[in-house]
Chains A and B, each alone.
Chain A
């Protein structure tokens, strides 16, 4: 197989690794956790965190002043969690201009510091999150115990409060029937494997989120090194081997999935968000396998975001209506993929 095409906009190892994500959970000392705090305390937490973040270049969005469509837009861009978007407590999110760093205040923990970068760039993402964490910690005290580390509302995050994750595109493993074995191995390695939309969701388009489950007993460097230099490269190797196998042993199946997806997207007059994501994911596979030289990975990844409901409604306001949205989505995709 040819080496995977490198699209600088999509980051390293982007044939398999869609994006890297780092998340740190922190709580201010002297306050109850969000779920048990009063609204007055929640407002005070927001004030203290936004003050402590001054000079860090974040734009703050008060979630109480956002519309449901705006909140959905933030979820689709992975800047806030679904739980945060749907929550009723006073809460705010700080976002940097490049949208690589976001800070949710009053999610399950007082602060959820998150960095997302395209491709496999975990170390860089961690450095960015860590720098923000340090800056805030120089101005406020975080709840910490010498035994348990950084104290979090849920004990599954206690310790470093660090979640290291990647979104992986694993069609090769899925089509060769290896995915269940990989999931079992991941479980043994204390890794969480989730679908496209997070916990409990289906892996639409063979997109999986993989992250560490253990946050205690390891240093941040150890967790990061194991995940970024051992776990992820191993999964990337498995996926590439499965794709090679597919190309050698069942090329018609692979070509059928890829070209059928392109043909459907170029011909469809009505498209749902999930169907579009599935088809675009197969186009993504075709590009990475060198089967679609006229299309670029960057363009398909942008389309995968633009077909999501709130993004589509931004591009075409009539798409807020579900039926009109299916029409608008199909029209937009046809235009983008015009051959």
Chain B
């Protein structure tokens, strides 16, 4: 497809329908620019990958999981082994693999990101609930800022479960 004004290949193809009549416009990059069209300088796939790269969350979920340790220092389990078996090696794996595991758990647990059930008696009255509450509040702020309202609603419910309301 050639430009309407020269022999160069057209990069803009516009179909205008006015008064039931169809009018087609084909323009090369140079003529398109002259008429005020914004023509991408790079293929769209390249542009999308650049765009994804500028937004860390999108880039991570679209391409790969966040980087984290390859092995648990406690039991020596490789994250790749967990990927295959679905089973962790020791309680310490949760902390060790936190960057990668967080997203896996969120997916498996229908978006839940925090425990809201009972706490062992030995931990009751400790600073745990306060720490959990403060973390939930931080995550709630981040979710609202990112306009993730479903997630924000879940976090609010979890905060209410801890007592004292979300505000």
Contact = CB atoms under 8 A, between A and B. Distances in A.
Interface string A174-198: 0000000000000000100000000
A216 interface: yes
A9 interface: no
Contact of A217 (B95, B118, B120, B158): B158
A147 to B, nearest CB: 6
Contacts of B118: 160, 219-220
Interface of B: 74-75, 77, 85-91, 94-95, 101, 104-105, 108-123, 128-129, 131-132, 135, 154, 157-158, 161
Interface residues of A, number: 40
B109 A217 contact: yes
Interface string A115-154: 0000000000000000000000110011111111111011
Contacts of A141: 120, 122
A35 B117 contact: no
Interface centre among B109, B122, B131 (most CB of A within 10 A): B109
B123 A144 contact: yes
Given A148-B114, A155-B101, A217-B109, 4 more contacts: A36-B90, A147-B114, A147-B135, A154-B88
Given A36-B77, A146-B128, A146-B131, A108 B87 contact: yes
A112 to B, nearest CB: 14
Interface in A204-230: 213-220, 222-223
A144 B119 contact: yes
Contacts of A108: 87
Contacts of A32: 74-75, 89-90
Nearest to A160: B117
A29 interface: yes
Given A146-B131, A159-B117, A218-B117, A27 B108 contact: no
Contacts of B74: 32
B89 A33 contact: yes
B109 A153 contact: no
Interface of A: 27, 29, 31-33, 35-36, 108, 137-138, 141-151, 153-156, 158-160, 162, 190, 213-220, 222-223
Contacts of A215: 109
Contact of B87 (A29, A33, A143, A217): A33
Contacts of A219: 116-118, 161
Contacts of B119: 144, 146
Contacts of A36: 75, 77, 89-90
A137 B122 CA distance: 9
Contact of A145 (B75, B95, B104, B111): B95
A162 B115 CA distance: 12
A144 B89 CA distance: 15
Contact of B86 (A138, A154, A223): A154
A217 B116 contact: yes
Nearest to B132: A146
Nearest to B106: A216
A169 B77 CA distance: 42
Contact of A35 (B87, B105, B109, B161): B87
B91 A29 contact: yes
Contact of B120 (A142, A153, A220): A142
A154 B87 contact: yes
Contacts of B105: 148, 155, 158, 216
B117 A147 contact: no
A151 B94 contact: yes
Contacts of B115: 145-150, 158-160, 216-217
A214 B158 CA distance: 14
Nearest to B161: A219
Nearest to B104: A155
A162 to B, nearest CB: 7
B88 A153 contact: yes
25 contacts: A27-B91, A32-B75, A33-B88, A33-B90, A33-B91, A35-B89, A36-B75, A142-B120, A146-B128, A147-B132, A148-B114, A149-B115, A154-B87, A155-B105, A156-B86, A156-B109, A159-B117, A160-B118, A217-B112, A217-B157, A218-B112, A218-B117, A219-B116, A220-B117, A223-B117
